[in-house]
Chain A
Amino acid sequence: GAGVSQSPRYKVAKRGQDVALRCDPISGHVSLFWYQQALGQGPEFLTYFQNEAQLDKSGLPSDRFFAERPEGSVSTLKIQRTQQEDSAVYLCASSLLAGAPSLGNEQFFGPGTRLTVL
C-alpha cells in the first residue's frame, strides 16, 4: 500500500486481557515509531525501531508493554494485562531513513488503533 496501515482500527478489551496491535509501515522504510495518544492530548513517544533493532524504548510506560519488529518490516505492539489507563489511540509512524527528523526525514503516520479497556 501507499501509506502506513494499522490493524485493528478499533479494539475493545476487558481489563486484564492481552492485546496485540499491528503496524505495516511503508515498504522500504527503515525507521518505525509507536506513539500513544490519550483523548484530547498530543501523541507521546513509546518506542523506536531501526530495521529490526529496537533502539529506544524509553517511552514504554510499564513492563506490560512490549514491541517487536522481527524482520524489519511489520511491527507489533503488545500490551499485557490491560488496564483502563491504557485506553488511548496507538499510532504507528515510519520514515525512510535511519536518521533523526532533524535531517528532514519525515515521519508518515498510520490511522491509529483506538483501544478501549473496560
Chain B
Amino acid sequence: GNSVTQMEGPVTLSEEAFLTINCTYTATGYPSLFWYVQYPGEGLQLLLKATKADDKGSNKGFEATYRKETTSFHLEKGSVQVSDSAVYFCAPTGGGNKLTFGTGTQLKVEL
C-alpha cells in the first residue's frame, strides 16, 4: 500500500518566519496529495490539495507543489503567524478510496 514520511516535530518558529514541512510518499500509480491541519481542540480540516504532477495547491498563504520526480509534497508558508500553530498532516490517497496519513508535524509559532 501507499505510505508517507513526514518531517518530525515539533517545529518551533518565530512569527513571520519561513516555514517548510517536508513530506515524501511512496505510491503505486498517481495518487492525489493533500495537506490537512488540526487546530487545538478541533477536527481535521483540508488545507490544500493537488491532483496531478506539477500542480500547486494553495490556501491561507500555504503552498505545496506535487513533485512526481521526487515523490514529494512539501508544505511552505512565507510568513507564519501565531494562529498557524497546529498539527499538519500530509496525506496521499492510499489506494481505493481511503487516505493514508503521515504521523503529523506539530508547528508552534511564538511571538
A101 and B99 contacting across the interface, CB-CB below 8 Å: yes
Asked if A18 lies at the interface with its beta carbon under 8 angstroms from chain B, I say: no
Any A CB within 8 A of the CB of B17: no
B44 within 8 A of A: yes
Which residue numbers of B lie inside 8 Å of A, CB to CB?
Answer: 30-32, 34, 36, 42-46, 49, 51, 89, 91, 93-94, 96-104
Describe B's contact surface by its main secondary structure.
Answer: loop
Complex Cα distance A103/B44, Å? 20
Q: Are B31 and A45 touching (Cβ within 8 A)?
A: no
Chain A residues whose C-beta falls within 8 Å of the C-beta of B44 in the assembled complex:
43, 91, 93, 109
**13 A/B residue pairs, CB under 8 Å, sorted by A:** A33-B98, A42-B102, A43-B101, A91-B43, A100-B32, A101-B34, A101-B93, A102-B51, A102-B93, A106-B46, A109-B44, A111-B43, A112-B43
Least Cβ–Cβ distance between A20 and chain B, in angstroms: 20
The closest CB in chain B to the CB of A107 belongs to: B99
Expressed in whole angstroms, the Cα–Cα distance for A33 and B104 within the complex equals 19
> A45 contacts B49, CB within 8 Å?
no
**How many A-B residue pairs lie within 8 Å, measured between CB atoms?**
70
Identify which of A43, A48, A100 contacts B93 (C-beta below 8 A): A100
Chain B residue at smallest Cβ distance from A50: B97
Q: Which residue of A lies closest to B100 (CB)?
A: A45
Q: Which single residue of chain A is at the shortest CB-CB distance from B44?
A: A109
Residues on B with beta carbons closer than 8 Å to the beta carbon of A91:
43-44
Q: B98 — which chain A residues lie within 8 A by C-beta? A: 33, 45, 48, 56, 59
Instruction: Specify the chain B residue showing the minimal Cβ separation from A99.
Output: B97
Name the distance in Å between B29's Cβ and chain A's nearest Cβ: 8
Q: Is the CB of A41 within 8 A of B96?
A: no
In the complex, chain B residues whose CB is within 8 Å of the CB of A99 = 97
Identity of the chain B residue whose Cβ is nearest the Cβ of A109 in the assembled complex: B44
Structural contact, B43 and A110, CB atoms closer than 8 A: yes
